């Protein structure tokens, strides 16, 4: 049983098939850096409370740095029988400094060690996602200048509804991604309590000081209940869910732009660098990047179900099922981060086909709602105004004309409240000029929103 951290009470070797079945080094090796950080903090705490000497602490910390360097350079050998990254690092430490290395695990268990590592790793991942979301917001805000003055048809039920400034579309995505950022920040605040020192499930009789390690590792507090620590994976479930909503928002954006790229819409042109061709049809420019962003969202949604199903029936404290917890997180993070790496460039380099948009902008009676509001301002009850405009739209459909082309006599036959100033509210440009409620898609409110977003993002650090 040489090399096993738990082999003292066992008289038989582990079946090699069991070792292969139970190993996690194939996927948790990516925790090496945070495992070393946590172990170094633990060693410093042990020295401060007198459980190891200052010299022993120095040996442990320095040797862990050497091991970490070897792992980073790809010079470290992994062995299935050592199960996980935690045992690999501890085994290498003991191999190099003997009994001093054996003292490192004093006052902790793999249960609290693993939870600490995951929290440190998740915390770094959430920060990385937050930074990428800011870059995506910057890309959308930059588009407001590129597309200044452009008006787009807004849709409900994928049917033309009302016109809005193009910038209004771009800032709508900024709002979605801002909520995603807030969810990440909320999740980070809840996970940022230290599990280290809770040991297996009951704590320790040794005079450890959990607040020292919490401070060294940047945690805001220590977890209050050692029994809860071993089984708590709320932070993983919550962070995966937060990532799933990022993926959903990315998917919705991708879907809209995929539609806009079609000949039927003709609103958008993607650059060649973000499209692919067909093996048989020479004319094709397929929006594969956007389609994969849309498709990959399914994996992240599935990761939510995986972690929740894993947790739903576990009794209190640690169970080996929890070895599987990291797979869902790793997959969700890798997927969302990859999408966020590409998304800002796609937003930046795409171009609206303004001539095509303008040519059809007056189609679909986008000014009907504003005409109804014109009647409301003249004392007509909303429901009555709605009915009047509905009949006028039907009349225009029969005549195959737009509302702005309808003779004044036809308007006045529908309502005596309508005068010749009605033509000042009809037509897409007149509509966006009149939209004035806070947060609306009219020119004035949109300009206010753009300025607010520019000021907000100017204070955000940029990613390297």
Q: What is the CATH number of the domain that holds 38?
A: 1.10.275.10
Report residue 444: phi and psi, to 5°.
-65, -55
Residue 355 predicted with pLDDT over 90:
yes
The number of domains in the chain is: 2
Tell me, yes or no, whether 245 and 337 share the same domain: yes
**317-321, 359-363, 373-377: least confidently modelled range:** 317-321
CATH code of residue 269: 1.20.200.10
CB 265 within 8 A of CB 259: yes
1 pLDDT exceeds 50?
no
Q: What percent of the chain has pLDDT over 70?
A: 97
Domain membership of residue 182 (yes or no) is no
Query: Could you tell me the pLDDT band of residue 462, with boundaries at 50, 70 and 90?
Result: confident
Residue 239 is among the residues annotated as catalytic for this protein: no
Residues 227 and 341 occupy one common structural domain: yes
**8-22, 73-87, 159-173, 379-393: range with lowest mean pLDDT:** 8-22
What pLDDT score was predicted for residue 21?
83
Once rounded to an integer, what is the mean pLDDT over residues 35-43? 98
Residue 289 domain-assigned (yes or no): yes
Assess if residue 255 is contained within a domain: yes
pLDDT band at 2 (very low <50, low <70, confident <90, very high): very low
Residues 135, 83 share a domain: no
Q: Let me know if residue 154 belongs to a domain.
A: no
Tell me how far apart the alpha carbons of residues 388 and 365 are, in angstroms, rounded to a whole number.
14
The pLDDT of residue 13: 73
Same domain membership, residue 239 and residue 102: no
Which band of pLDDT confidence, cut at 50, 70 and 90, is reported for residue 237?
very high
Whether residue 247 lies inside any domain: the answer is yes
Say whether both 267 and 329 belong to one domain. Answer: yes
Give SS3 for 159.
strand
Stated as kind and residue range, the H or E segment containing 120 is helix 110-146
Query: Domain boundary residue among 341, 359, 377?
Result: 359
Q: Is 88 a catalytic residue?
A: no
Helix intervals (H) in 49-79: 54-72
Whether residue 161 is contained in a domain is answered as: no
Average pLDDT estimate for 295-306: 97
Q: What's the rounded mean pLDDT across residues 156-171?
A: 96
Is residue 464's pLDDT more than 70? no
Q: Which residue(s) pair with 222 in the sheet?
A: 194
Of these residues, 157, 205, 279, 437, which one is catalytic?
A: 157
430: number of Cβ within 10 Å:
15
Q: What is the pLDDT of residues 92-118, one digit of tens each?
A: 999 999 999 999 999 999 999 999 999
448 in a structural domain: no
Beta-strand relationship, 268-269 and 221-222: unpaired
Domain boundary among 299, 332, 359: 359
**Which of 320, 337, 359 is the last residue in one of the domains?**
359
Same domain, 28 and 64: yes
Annotated catalytic residue: which of 13, 204, 231, 278? 278
pLDDT given for residue 7 in this prediction: 56
Considering the chain, what percentage of its residues have pLDDT values greater than 90?
Answer: 88
Q: Left if phi > 0, otherwise alpha if psi is -120 to 50, otherwise beta: which for 98?
A: left
Residue numbers of the domain that contains 87: 7-106
Structure tokens at 354: 């303004």
Of 415, 410, 405, the closest CA to residue 378 belongs to 415
Compute φ and ψ for 359, nearest 5 degrees: -65, -30
| pLDDT in the model for residue 324 | 92
Residue 40 lies in a domain: yes
Tokens matching residue 402: 């737009």
- In this predicted structure, the answer to whether residue 401 has a pLDDT above a threshold of 90 is yes
Would you tell me how many other CB atoms lie within 10 Å of the CB of residue 252? 14
Same domain? For 125 and 80 the reply is no
User: Per-residue b/e over 165-180, b at no fewer than 16 CB within 10 Å?
Assistant: bbbbbbbbbbebbbeb
**72 with 21, same domain?**
yes
User: Do residues 232 and 264 both lie within one domain?
Assistant: yes
The confidence score (pLDDT) of residue 300 equals 98
Q: Which is higher by pLDDT, 17 or 245?
A: 245
C-beta pairs of 174-182 under 8 Å, 24+ apart in sequence: 174/137, 174/140, 174/141, 174/453, 176/249, 177/133, 177/136, 177/137, 177/246, 177/249, 178/137, 179/245, 180/133, 180/242, 180/245, 180/246, 180/249, 181/130, 181/133, 181/134
Q: How many residues does this entry show for the chain?
A: 464
| Alpha-carbon separation of residue 186 from 179, 180, 300, 329 (angstroms) | 10, 10, 19, 17
Per-residue pLDDT at 234: 96
Are residues 273 and 241 part of one domain?
yes
Band (pLDDT 50/70/90 cuts) for residue 16 is confident
Residue 9: pLDDT band with limits 50, 70, 90: low
Note the pLDDT of residue 230: 87
CA distance 249 to 297: 9
90 and 116 in a single domain? The answer is: no
Q: Do 117 and 259 belong to one domain?
A: yes
**How far apart are alpha carbons 5 and 85 in whole angstroms?**
13
With H, G, I as helix, E, B as strand and everything else as coil, classify residue 398: helix
The mean pLDDT value of the chain amounts to 94
Residue 155 is inside which H or E element, if any?
strand 151-156
């Amino acid at each position: 049983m040489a090399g096993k951290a738990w082999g003292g009470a066992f008289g038989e070797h582990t079946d090699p098939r069991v070792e292969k079945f139970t190993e996690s080094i194939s996927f948790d090796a990516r925790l090496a850096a945070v495992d070393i950080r946590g172990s170094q903090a633990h060693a410093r705490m042990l020295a401060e409370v007198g459980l190891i000497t200052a010299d022993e602490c120095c040996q442990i910390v320095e040797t862990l740095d050497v091991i970490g360097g070897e792992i980073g350079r790809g010079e470290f050998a992994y062995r299935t029988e050592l199960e996980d990254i935690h045992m690999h690092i501890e085994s290498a430490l003991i191999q190099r400094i003997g009994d001093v290395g054996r003292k490192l695990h004093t006052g902790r268990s793999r249960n609290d060690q693993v939870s600490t590592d995951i929290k440190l790793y998740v915390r770094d991942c959430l920060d990385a996602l937050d930074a990428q979301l800011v870059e995506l917001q910057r890309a959308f805000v930059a588009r407001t200048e590129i597309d200044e003055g452009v008006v787009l048809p807004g849709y409900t039920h994928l049917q033309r509804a009302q016109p809005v400034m193009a910038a209004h579309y771009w800032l709508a995505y900024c709002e979605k991604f801002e909520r995603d950022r807030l969810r990440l920040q909320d999740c980070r605040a809840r996970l940022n309590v230290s599990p280290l020192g809770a040991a297996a499930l009951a704590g320790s009789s040794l005079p450890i000081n959990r607040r020292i390690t919490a401070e060294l590792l940047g945690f805001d507090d220590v977890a209050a209940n050692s029994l809860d620590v071993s089984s708590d994976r709320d932070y993983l479930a919550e962070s995966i869910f937060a990532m799933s909503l990022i993926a959903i928002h990315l998917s919705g954006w991708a879907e809209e732009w995929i539609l806009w790229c079609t000949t039927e819409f003709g609103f958008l042109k993607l650059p060649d660098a973000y499209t692919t061709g067909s093996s048989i049809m020479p004319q094709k420019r397929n929006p594969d990047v956007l389609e994969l962003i849309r498709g990959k969202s399914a994996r992240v949604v599935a990761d939510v179900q995986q972690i929740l199903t894993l947790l739903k029936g576990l009794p209190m404290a640690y169970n080996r099922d929890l070895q599987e917890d990291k797979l869902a997180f790793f997959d969700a993070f890798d997927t969302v981060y990859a999408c966020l790496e590409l998304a800002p460039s796609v937003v930046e380099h795409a171009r609206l086909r303004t001539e095509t948009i303008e040519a059809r902008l007056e189609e679909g009676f986008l000014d009907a709602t504003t005409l109804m509001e014109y009647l409301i301002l003249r004392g007509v009850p909303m429901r009555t105004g709605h009915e009047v405009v509905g009949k006028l739209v039907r009349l225009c459909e029969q005549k195959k004309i737009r509302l702005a082309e309808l003779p004044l006599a036809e308007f006045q036959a529908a309502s005596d409240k309508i005068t010749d100033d009605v033509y000042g509210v009809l037509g897409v440009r007149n509509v966006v000029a009149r939209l004035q409620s806070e947060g609306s898609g009219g020119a004035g409110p949109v300009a206010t929103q753009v300025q607010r977003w520019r000021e907000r993002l100017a204070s955000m650090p940029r990613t390297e």
